[in-house]
Every structure is written in C-alpha cells, then in structure tokens.
Structure 1
Amino acid sequence: MTDFTTSTAPADVVRRQYLASANRDLEALRATLAPDVEWTEMAGFPLAGTYRTPDGVMERLGADWADWTAHDDVYVADGENVVVLARYTAVNKATGRPIDVRVAHHFIVRAGQIVRFEQFVDTAKVRDAMLA
C-alpha cells in the first residue's frame, strides 16, 4: 500500500493539499503546488480571478474569514485530472455570518504537483455572508 504522504498519484497530492489547508499549514500547502500553478477562483467569488503563483490566495481568505475550511468529500480521478466535491465552512469576520456551501474543485496534477485548479461554487451564498 502506497503512503499518500509521499505518493505522486494525483488524488494523493490533492488529498495532501486539503489536509494542509485544514491544518492551516501554508508551507505544506504550497509544497503541493507547482511554482507556476494556475489557480482560478470563480467569477463572483470574493477572490475571483486567476493567480499564477502559490502565494496570496490562502492568506487573503484568512484575512476576511475565520476558520475557513474546505471539507473534501468525494474524489473522482481520471489520469492527471482530479475532481473533488466538497464544501466550504467559515465565518465572515466583518459580519459574523457563517457559510456552509457546496463546491466542486477541478485539479490537474503533473509530476506530483498541482499545476491547475478551478473552483465552482454558489457565489451568491458566499456574498450573502459578506453583506452587513
């Protein structure tokens, strides 16, 4: 049995990314990302856009949301493609309003690193939690 902590299998790399995020371990999270990762947050999401560096996105989420967690539920893997059905939970720091929203994440993993990420989420629910 392969140890997922050292495996380069795409689903294992993505599992390490979720675990690092849940543990607020930015160093371990960045270790799963290629230096030129293409990280896309959905249009309408507070951090909407495409980022081309492993830095920045997680820190910005932490600035606006308390206890931001992506709960990974179901993995569907096909070669270098990994789709994860998950949910976000957090509390907006400015309003005190919580979210609990379903999401889908699409990852592309090559040579043991995430090279591409795309988020799909109900942005209206996230925005509603941000409104005072």
Structure 2
Amino acid sequence: MGLTPESPADVVRRQYLASAAGDLDALRATLAPDVEWTEMAGFPLAGTYRTPVGVTTHVMEALGADWDDWAAHDDTYVVDGENVVVLARYTAKNRVTGKALAARVAHHFVVRGGLIVRFEQFVDTALVRDAMTP
C-alpha cells in the first residue's frame, strides 16, 4: 500500500504551518513552479507574483521587513475539489507606527497535483492602512 496523496486542504495547511514557522523553503515546496499569487488591490503588496521564490521574496520577506510577528491564523476551511477557501485572521504590529493589526481575511487557493497553483487574497485593506498610518 502506497502513501495516500495529500488532499488540497492538507497542502494549504502545510503552507500556513511553513509560513508560521518562518520556513520559506518548506513554504516554497507547497507552490507550483508557475504559481500565480495575488495580493489584493489596496493591500501594501498589491499585485500578482509568480514562481515560488518570487512569492516568498515579494510577499513573505516584505511582510517580515515591515511588520513584527506577522501571522495568518487559518481558522476555517471550505473545500470544493481543487478549490480551498480559508477564512483566517491576520495579526501583526507595524514596525514604523507600532500599531497592532487584527483583520479578518479570506484566501482562495487552487491546488493541483499536490501544489498550490493559484492564490487570491481578500482583506479589509483599510484596517491594514490604518495600522500603517501614524
């Protein structure tokens, strides 16, 4: 009997755990080589990033530079085939203003062949902006 392949939700959960641990190599291992990772318009890192290194460099490392204790808390998973929607929370403290951030978010992942091929973020960008404004 072989190993059971990871479910799409398992792959997404592994991504959150790697992010929480600050393990960018493990996080990149969850992403397809041609991943499309979209941060919402109005978010400080708004745009679409491609490649696992592009995602970790322009998103995770950038967040780590601007925020202390940035965390995405994955609370609820809704799965429909290759689509995984995660209702989550961001918590962090802005390094410049010292203000805390607590915002509800939704993340939509598409997982194929055991890798995340697409990600789209939905977040109340006004809360993020408020935490960044002195």
TM bin (shorter chain):
over 0.9
Superposition pairs of residues 46-85 of structure 1, within 5 angstroms: 46-55=44-53, 56=57, 57-85=59-87
Task: Find the aligned partners of 1:106 and 1:47 in 2 and give their Cα distance.
Answer: 17
Partner SS state of residue 96, structure 1? coil
Q: TM-score, normalised by structure 2?
A: 0.92
Task: Find the aligned partners of 1:75 and 1:121 in 2 and give their Cα distance.
Answer: 16
Structure 1 unaligned blocks of 5 or more: none
Superposition pairs of residues 8-23 of structure 1, within 5 angstroms: 8-23=6-21
Deviation digits for residues 5-30 of structure 1 (CA, Å, limit 9, x no counterpart): x8421000000000111111111111
Contact 1:80 1:110 in 2 (8 A): yes
- Note the aligned Cα RMSD (angstroms): 1.2
1:127 matched residue in structure 2: 129
Does structure 1 residue 99 correspond to structure 2 residue 101?
yes
Q: TM-score, normalised by structure 1?
A: 0.94
Deviation digits for residues 101-132 of structure 1 (CA, Å, limit 9, x no counterpart): 00000000000000000000000000000011
Q: Select the structure that is richer in helix.
A: 2
Which amino acid in structure 1 is aligned with residue 50 of structure 2?
R
Task: Find the aligned partners of 1:19 and 1:7 in 2 and give their Cα distance.
Answer: 18
Q: Percent identity?
A: 78
Q: State the aligned residue count.
A: 128
Task: Find the aligned partners of 1:99 and 1:32 in 2 and give their Cα distance.
Answer: 27
Contact 1:66 1:92 in 2 (8 A): yes
Task: Find the aligned partners of 1:127 and 1:54 in 2 and give their Cα distance.
Answer: 26
